[in-house]
Chain A
Amino acid sequence: DVKVTQSSRYLVKRTGEKVFLECVQDMDHENMFWYRQDPGLGLRLIYFSYDVKMKEKGDIPEGYSVSREKKERFSLILESASTNQTSMYLCASSSPVGTYEQYFGPGTRLTVT
């Protein structure tokens, strides 16, 4: 079974703090993704990565950055957290060949106060 883990299930941070969300997958997948999910807005892609040290902007990259130093690990960074970044953050991974199905981690519910 594919396993994707995320560093925290719940996180509370203050406005202006730097926040790190970490994601690890054990299936040797090249592709990894960060989404946020908000009521009524669905899943929105923040960043994705096709390989180590590679990153691509998704639909809503503003206020976020990412790091991929190892194949299994993909980190999302909020440089200066703001209240409008309160959300559920979901990491996913997929193989670059075949049908591209994505497997999700359990999610991190981030609250910025």
Chain B
Amino acid sequence: QKEVEQNSGPLSVPEGAIASLNCTYSDRGSQSFFWYRQYSGKSPELIMFIYSNGDKEDGRFTAQLNKASQYVSLLIRDSQPSDSATYLCAVNRDDKIIFGKGTRLHILP
């Protein structure tokens, strides 16, 4: 079982709709969970982190964590064309981070 799993996509979402990105992880000892956004040809940029069960909101972004189900998600409200990117889910293993391979998100104008 891969440590961090994401659907590779592409996920196509109409502009203005909610984009929902999902991730599962295998290590029950993980304490911190991250979402990175990566535009084509650029490096990953941290957009959210969460370490408690429940929701964490930051502007149009909401991260959701369910440790019992080992599930992390990212919701993007009012999706914009500029949100088109690859989104990497990551979880800590000790003081390193394990990354998923990412989900490509395409916002349709």
Residues of A bordering B, CB below 8 Å: 31, 33, 40-43, 45, 48, 50, 90, 94, 96, 99-107, 109
Contact = CB atoms under 8 A, between A and B. Distances in A.
Contact of A99 (B42, B43, B92, B102): B92
6 contacts: A42-B100, A43-B99, A94-B95, A94-B97, A100-B92, A107-B42
B80 interface: no
B15 to A, nearest CB: 27
Contacts of A33: 96
Interface in B13-57: 31-32, 34, 41-46, 49, 51
B95 A42 contact: no
A104 B34 CA distance: 13
A85 to B, nearest CB: 18
Interface in B69-109: 88, 90, 92, 95-97, 99-102
Given A42-B101, A99-B51, A48 B43 contact: no
Given A31-B95, A48-B96, A100 B32 contact: yes
A96 B92 CA distance: 12
B44 A104 contact: yes
Given A31-B95, A45-B96, A99-B51, A106 B44 contact: no
A106 B42 contact: yes
Contacts of A48: 96
Given A48-B96, A94-B95, A101-B34, A42 B102 contact: yes
